[in-house]
């Protein structure tokens, strides 16, 4: 699968952000003639003085923009995270849409694990979706969903071949984030794509440094990761081609090596 992470700067208004993303995709296709899936980071628009602008109606303006560029460039796109109000819910959700190369919506994934202040503002997602995509299966784990082993493991156990993670990681959390991504890849023997926000939000620096993590076929045990990274503090795209068939063979072995935790006696000794 040919994959690209977009790492756009957070600019001052939506229109400038839209244009910037157009320019990055133009640059991507000027260099590479094919890309199966483009991933946007969790946050690619700024926070606004009018807080109401931070939230979208269901399938609103940001949704329509991503849908239109997916069709325009004939490429599948993950929307990053959209703060979305839905008529039947008391609180909005943080959600990521998947569009195919015709601009058709294939589905959406709501953020399950909410981080700190998000707990007051948003409703947590209750479902983990596995999307059929070009003869493979993908799962979308938005940012904090990768910090807990249960959600990536659940995705792997239910047939996911690759984990996509739109993220908003500040410079203070970069070391931990790198550890999380590598750990999730190794413990599940599954490729991981982490696409991180670039820019400044509320005096916090978000440095990008997106990552595509896959496996080196030359080393079965111990498995050897192959990692490519986008630059720090630079607007760009990160492009990589990953083999999704080889990890499946080592993933089957790893998952079959598990011992049911319910069969392990836990004994407290004082």
Q: What is the rounded average pLDDT of the residues 252-258?
A: 93
Q: How confident is the model at residue 187 (pLDDT cuts 50, 70, 90)?
A: very high
Q: What is the rounded average pLDDT of the residues 203-209?
A: 96
- Distance, in Å, from the CA atom of 193 to the CA atom of 184, rounded to the nearest integer, reads 11
Q: What is the rounded average pLDDT of the residues 231-241?
A: 98
Q: Is the pLDDT of residue 115 over 90?
A: yes
Rg (CA), the chain: 18
Distances (CA, A) of 103 to 14, 63, 73, 115: 20, 11, 9, 31
Neighbouring-strand partners of residue 163 = 139, 192
Q: What is the rounded average pLDDT of the residues 81-107?
A: 96
pLDDT digits (tens, 9 = 90+) for 44-55: 999 887 888 889
Segment holding 85, helix H or strand E: strand 82-85
Q: Is the pLDDT of residue 145 over 80?
A: yes
For the chain, give the mean pLDDT: 96
- Distance, in Å, from the CA atom of 179 to the CA atom of 175, rounded to the nearest integer, reads 6
pLDDT recorded at residue 219: 72
Which fold does the domain 2-258 belong to in CATH? Nitrilase/N-carbamoyl-D-aminoacid amidohydrolase (3.60.110)
Q: Is the pLDDT of residue 202 over 90?
A: no
pLDDT recorded at residue 218: 81
pLDDT recorded at residue 216: 94
Q: What is the rounded average pLDDT of the residues 155-176?
A: 98
């Amino acid at each position: 699968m040919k994959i690209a992470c977009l790492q756009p700067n957070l600019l001052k208004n939506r229109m400038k952000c839209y244009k910037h993303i157009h320019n990055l995709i133009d640059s991507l296709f000027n260099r590479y003639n094919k890309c199966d899936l483009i991933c946007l980071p969790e946050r690619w628009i700024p926070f606004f003085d009018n807080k109401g602008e931070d939230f979208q109606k269901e399938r609103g303006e940001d949704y329509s923009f991503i849908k239109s560029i997916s069709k325009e460039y004939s490429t599948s796109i993950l929307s990053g995270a959209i703060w979305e109000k839905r008529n039947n819910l008391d609180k909005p959700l943080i959600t990521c849409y998947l569009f195919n190369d015709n601009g058709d919506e294939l589905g959406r994934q709501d953020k399950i694990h909410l981080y700190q202040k998000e707990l007051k503002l948003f409703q947590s997602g209750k479902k983990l979706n596995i999307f059929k995509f070009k003869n493979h299966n993908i799962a979308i784990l938005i940012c904090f969903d990768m910090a807990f082993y249960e959600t990536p493991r659940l995705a792997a156990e239910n047939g996911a071949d690759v984990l996509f993670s739109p993220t908003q990681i500040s410079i203070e959390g970069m070391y931990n984030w790198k550890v999380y991504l590598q750990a999730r890849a190794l413990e599940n023997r599954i490729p991981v794509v982490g696409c991180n926000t670039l820019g400044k939000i509320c005096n916090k620096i978000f440095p990008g440094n997106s990552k595509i993590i896959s496996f080196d076929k030359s080393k079965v045990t111990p498995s050897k990761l192959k990692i490519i990274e986008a630059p720090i503090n630079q607007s760009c795209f990160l492009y990589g081609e990953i083999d999704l068939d080889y990890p499946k063979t080592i993933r089957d072995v790893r998952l079959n090596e598990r011992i049911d935790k319910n069969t392990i006696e836990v004994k407290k000794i004082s």
